Amino acid sequence: MTASDADLFLDVLRGDDPIAATHSLRNEAPVHWVPSLGFWVITRHDDVQWLLDEPEYGSRDRSVWEGFEPLAEGTWLRWFDDNNFARDDPAAHAKWRRRFVTALTPRAVRRMDLQIREVVERFAEPLRDRPGEIVDLVTEFTNPIPNAVISRVTGIPAGRDELRFRELAQGLIRGFVPFSSPEVMAMAEKCLGEMAEWVRRMAAERRDALGEDLISDLLRAQAADDSLGDDEIVMLISLMIGAGSETTSFATMSMLQTLLEHPDALEQLRGDRSRIQQALGELMRFAAGGGAAAGLLRYAGRDFALRGKSIRKGQMLLLSFGAANRDPEVFPDPDRLDLARDTRESLVFGHGAHYCLGANLAKQEMGDMLDAALDIVTPGSRLRYDLQETRQMGLGRRPCTLPIELAG
């Protein structure tokens, strides 16, 4: 491998045009070793999908990693790592999926849809009719809504408790980001501990008197011989926060920015709101396809060869859905935004047995947020790039604000 080969992925991280650099990486080195970071980057759609479907090769179990160091014993994060059923054996994982799906009765889904709309409207209403003002839609809209939704779905009412739950959720999810600093991990530990005790108290209360919330739904759905412990409920709520807070906020922000940069598409949706849910697939594919760094970490469960490269058991794999969702072999003319595109092959929500359980909830939430945003971002509004801020998240920097100058 030449020095230039080794730098291909770093070019994506450092470059001004991550899309072009990602295409080069996929074409020249689709299975690419990054020596300075110690992992393989997988960029072709077929390869990413295969590894998502084959846990024997692309394991979710972090302890498989050759660089794995157990977290300190007795900590909440160590407990989470040791008991995370998302990386259990297939039978145990399937049991957990059944538990969750069984809880999503038609009544529960209707209630959650109503709760989502109520939360979105609560944050959208103060942002309407503010011509001439500059509004950061991340701080005031896309960031608080996902955690507020999870709070409501879990059974926490609006008010001080919801605000505290959102603060804990924000601190916790920072610890789920790969390559987080020790300071971030320490905050995540503190937040997980407080949240775990909170959810345990709620579970105990629901056992005495079932309510209209997700914890009660889970308790109703459990079989008589398959009791659901409080720790398992804590794990499920924590996973929902990890999978559905930061990701939903960032995805919605990215989709809104994409629409502002494609005014024809924005006006298409403004003119026909019934197209929003169908357009979500393409907006997510396009917005999440900006670079090879967007992806999921897996660990080689055995030695194997892929596209002529020898991957050793225990090595880290970055499955790049950012690159896979711009693969021209699957999505013709991938750098063109086409709201009518068939995106059933998109890997934004994963694939196979580990396809995101909360995908439908996330789509409903993002669709409601986009619908509401169309009334906030009035025709003629513009993104103020000069005021947009970025921050380090994981491997690279990404926008963390969306300042919009609202038109009159």
Q: How many domains does the chain have?
A: 1
pLDDT at 121: 97
Containing structural domain, residue 38: 3-405
Q: Across residues 35-46, what is the average pLDDT?
A: 93
Contacting residues for 261 by C-beta, under 8 A, at least 6 apart: 383
Contacting residues for 23 by C-beta, under 8 A, at least 6 apart: 326
Q: Which residue has the tokens 């026909």?
A: 272
pLDDT at 2: 43
For 368-384, give the DSSP string.
Answer: HHHHHHHHHS-TT-EE-
| pTM of this structure | 0.87
Whether 44 and 30 have beta carbons less than 8 Å apart is answered as: yes
Whether the pLDDT of residue 96 is over 60: the answer is: yes
Token pair of 52 as six digits: 């998502």
Token pair of 249 as six digits: 């906020």
For 132-163, give the DSSP string.
Answer: T-EEEHIIIIITHHHHHHHHHHHTPPTTHHHH
Whether the pLDDT of residue 135 is over 90: the answer is: yes
103-112, 206-215, 270-279, 360-369: least confident range: 103-112
* Closest alpha carbon to 371 in 261, 283, 309: 283
Whether 49 and 306 have beta carbons less than 8 Å apart is answered as: no
Q: Quick one: CA dihedral 251, 253, 256, 260, positive or negative?
A: negative
* pLDDT confidence bin for 3, thresholds 50/70/90: very low
For the chain, helix, strand, coil in percent to 5 are: 55, 10, 35
- Helix (H/G/I), strand (E/B), else coil: 317: strand
* pLDDT confidence bin for 384, thresholds 50/70/90: very high
Determine the Cα–Cα distance for residues 290 and 8; give it in Å rounded to an integer.
15
Q: What is the pLDDT of residues 195-215, one digit of tens each?
A: 899 989 999 999 999 999 988
pLDDT at 382: 95
Contacting residues for 399 by C-beta, under 8 A, at least 6 apart: 253, 257, 388, 389, 390
* pLDDT confidence bin for 98, thresholds 50/70/90: confident
Portion of the chain with pLDDT greater than 90, in percent: 48
Q: Across residues 233-244, what is the average pLDDT?
A: 76
pLDDT at 243: 67
38-52, 78-92, 382-396: least confident range: 78-92
Whether the pLDDT of residue 373 is over 90: the answer is: yes
Amino acid (one-letter) located at 395: L
* pLDDT confidence bin for 244, thresholds 50/70/90: low
* pLDDT confidence bin for 4, thresholds 50/70/90: very low
Q: What is the pLDDT of residues 327-367, one digit of tens each?
A: 999 999 999 999 999 999 999 888 877 777 778 888 889 99
pLDDT at 292: 77
Mean pLDDT (the chain, rounded): 87
pLDDT at 359: 80
pLDDT at 6: 53
Whether 51 and 302 have beta carbons less than 8 Å apart is answered as: no
Determine the Cα–Cα distance for residues 206 and 212; give it in Å rounded to an integer.
10
Whether 170 and 147 have beta carbons less than 8 Å apart is answered as: yes
Residue 353: how many CA atoms within 13 Å on its side-chain side? 21
* pLDDT confidence bin for 225, thresholds 50/70/90: low
Q: What is the pLDDT of residues 281-309, one digit of tens each?
A: 999 999 876 677 788 899 999 999 999 99
Determine the Cα–Cα distance for residues 23 and 324; give it in Å rounded to an integer.
10
pLDDT at 346: 94
Give the CATH number for residue 140: 1.10.630.10
pLDDT at 394: 60
Q: Across residues 127-135, what is the average pLDDT?
A: 95
